[in-house]
């Protein structure tokens, strides 16, 4: 599903590693994970967006930190989820029209997941679709949003409800960009890496355990390895289930409880913090139901804690409200709250090919109780 071309390694002369190849229904695109690639974006743009005009879309924070000196116009918008709207999509699209960007042009999405989703959606719809280069600068955007081709904006009815499938022409990831990421955003991104190990690769989980200090110290080579392995694992799962028939649901591990925690905390928890707590509760649930091998929960909990992620709630949240939020999540029918549960570290419960199974409310409550310290 994803492969690195053979013959070159990260140790080769110029320090450039081979691109990972992400395959999707309409083709494939390369993901470069390369320290310093931000310093040679002009080459990457010429290679993957062609010779036409280029415009960079970036939030103000990232534009100031990492967009200085780029040889293209930079359209800026305020940082944060509040910019992921149809209004901002319209404003940016109009600015591209004013600049006269043509069909042979391209967009560079420089920033976190908000920028990737928003700029990707602008590219998906501008003149019925032009190519874009994704340059993710948060850990979450590097290891999650870089695979799957989903773009879009939020609406008052909920997040990500208007959008398009528009895979990038290429993704360029510079692990050095993470040096400026605030600590809370950095740690939040690590929750998805733990999820990747839990659902797909016990060896990766071992490595995360052994590498926790180097990860938290943001050692460049360690971060590059983490990003590469997580991208490979997500691409393998998505590529094996392009039609979203089943397997892809394993990527929802920790997310049934996680989405409810985000919602009920009124987004006081970041997505990654909520997913960490969700993984704590859902691995306990899996053991309680006899689905997961004993010890799965404790290893997951200990690794999340070692990576500086929350494993208990600082502010209690009522289980009734959490259960109600899970029952109204778009992926669940009422009274049938489904979970993607592990069978053990590195393997998921196939649950008759659906990769999710319902759980009785009493078992869910008992798992949620673990999030409230005695």
Buried b (16+ CB within 10 A) or exposed e, 257-280: bbbbbbbbbeeebbbbbbbbbbbb
| 144 interacts with ligand NAD by CB under 6 A | yes
Residues annotated as catalytic (active site), given as ranges: 128, 150, 192, 234, 244, 248, 252, 255, 259, 271
Nearest-CA neighbor of 150 among 22, 37, 50?
22
Nearest-CA neighbor of 338 among 349, 346, 84, 226?
349
Tell me the two tokens of residue 8.
């070159």
Q: Which is nearer to ligand NAD, 112 or 310 (CB)?
A: 112
| 111 interacts with ligand NAD by CB under 6 A | yes
Q: Choose the binding region for ligand NAD from 109-117, 303-311, 312-320, 321-329 (rule: CB under 6 A).
A: 109-117
d(CA 25, CA 241): 10
| 150 interacts with ligand NAD by CB under 6 A | yes
Taking the complex as a whole, how short is the minimal distance between the CB of residue 112 and ligand NAD, in angstroms?
Answer: 2
What residue is closest to ligand NAD based on CB? 113
| 61 interacts with ligand NAD by CB under 6 A | yes
| 185 interacts with ligand NAD by CB under 6 A | yes
Nearest-CA neighbor of 330 among 240, 245, 263, 239?
263
State the Rg of the chain over Cα: 20
Taking the complex as a whole, how short is the minimal distance between the CB of residue 65 and ligand NAD, in angstroms?
Answer: 5
The bridge status of strand 347-348 relative to strand 342-344 is: antiparallel
Taking the complex as a whole, how short is the minimal distance between the CB of residue 104 and ligand NAD, in angstroms?
Answer: 26
Q: Choose the binding region for ligand NAD from 124-132, 139-147, 294-302, 313-321 (rule: CB under 6 A).
A: 139-147
Q: Which of residues 130, 140, 236, 341 is near ligand NAD by CB under 6 A?
A: 140
Q: Which is nearer to ligand NAD, 238 or 291 (CB)?
A: 238
Q: Which of residues 2, 134, 138, 356 is near ligand NAD by CB under 6 A?
A: 138
| 274 interacts with ligand NAD by CB under 6 A | no
Taking the complex as a whole, how short is the minimal distance between the CB of residue 273 and ligand NAD, in angstroms?
Answer: 11
Alpha carbon 374 to chain centroid, angstroms: 32
Task: Please say whether the beta carbons of 341 and 347 come within 8 A.
Answer: no
| 148 interacts with ligand NAD by CB under 6 A | yes
d(CA 146, CA 168): 8
Q: Which is nearer to ligand NAD, 65 or 289 (CB)?
A: 65
| 84 interacts with ligand NAD by CB under 6 A | yes
| 208 interacts with ligand NAD by CB under 6 A | no
| 167 interacts with ligand NAD by CB under 6 A | no
Alpha carbon 280 to chain centroid, angstroms: 19
Task: Please say whether the beta carbons of 169 and 29 come within 8 A.
Answer: yes
Q: Choose the binding region for ligand NAD from 14-22, 39-47, 54-62, 363-371 (rule: CB under 6 A).
A: 54-62
Nearest-CA neighbor of 57 among 103, 105, 23?
105
| 190 interacts with ligand NAD by CB under 6 A | no
| 79 interacts with ligand NAD by CB under 6 A | yes
| 81 interacts with ligand NAD by CB under 6 A | yes
**Residue holding tokens 């997580």?**
230
| 316 interacts with ligand NAD by CB under 6 A | no
- The β-bridge partners of 172 are 32
Q: Which of residues 117, 282, 287, 349 is near ligand NAD by CB under 6 A?
A: 117
CA angle 179, 180, 181 (to 5 degrees): 100
Nearest-CA neighbor of 93 among 122, 58, 124?
122
d(CA 117, CA 151): 4
Return phi, psi of residue 342, to 5°: -75, 150
Residues lying near ligand NAD in the complex (CB under 6 A): 59, 61-62, 65, 79-81, 84, 111-115, 117, 137-138, 140-141, 144-145, 148, 150, 159-160, 177, 180-181, 185
């Amino acid at each position: 599903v994803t492969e690195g071309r053979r013959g070159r390694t990260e140790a080769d002369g110029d320090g450039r590693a081979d691109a990972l190849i992400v395959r999707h229904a309409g083709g494939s695109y390369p993901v470069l994970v390369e320290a310093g690639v931000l310093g040679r974006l002009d080459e990457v743009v010429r290679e993957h967006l062609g010779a036409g005009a280029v415009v960079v879309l970036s939030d103000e924070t990232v534009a100031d930190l990492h967009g200085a000196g780029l040889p293209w116009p930079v359209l800026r918008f305020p940082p944060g989820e509040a910019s992921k709207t149809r209004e901002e999509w319209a404003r940016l699209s109009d600015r591209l029209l004013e600049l006269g960007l043509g069909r042979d042009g391209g967009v560079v999405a420089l920033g976190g997941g908000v920028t990737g989703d928003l700029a990707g959606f602008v590219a998906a719809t501008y003149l019925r679709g032009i190519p874009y280069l994704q340059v993710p600068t948060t850990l979450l955007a590097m290891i999650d949003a870089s695979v799957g081709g989903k773009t879009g904006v939020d609406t008052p009815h909920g997040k990500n409800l208007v959008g398009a499938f528009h895979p990038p022409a290429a993704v360029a990831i510079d692990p050095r960009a993470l040096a400026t990421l605030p600590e809370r955003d950095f740690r939040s991104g690590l929750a998805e890496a733990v999820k990747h190990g839990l659902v797909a690769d016990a060896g990766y989980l071992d490595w995360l355990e052994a590498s926790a200090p180097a990860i938290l110290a943001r050692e460049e080579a360690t971060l590059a390895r983490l990003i590469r392995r997580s991208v490979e694992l997500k691409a393998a799962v998505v590529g094996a289930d392009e039609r979203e028939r089943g397997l892809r649901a394993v990527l929802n591990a920790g997310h049934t409880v996680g989405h409810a925690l985000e919602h009920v905390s009124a987004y006081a928890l970041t997505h990654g913090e909520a997913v960490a707590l969700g993984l704590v509760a859902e691995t306990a649930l899996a053991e309680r139901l006899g689905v997961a091998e004993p010890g799965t929960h404790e290893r997951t909990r200990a690794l999340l804690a070692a990576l500086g992620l929350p494993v208990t709630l600082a502010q209690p949240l009522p289980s009734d409200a959490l259960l109600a939020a899970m029952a109204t999540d778009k992926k669940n029918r009422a009274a049938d709250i489904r979970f993607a549960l592990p069978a053990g570290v590195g393997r998921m419960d196939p649950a008759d090919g659906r990769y999710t199974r319902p759980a009785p409310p009493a078992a869910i409550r008992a798992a949620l109780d673990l999030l409230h310290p005695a």
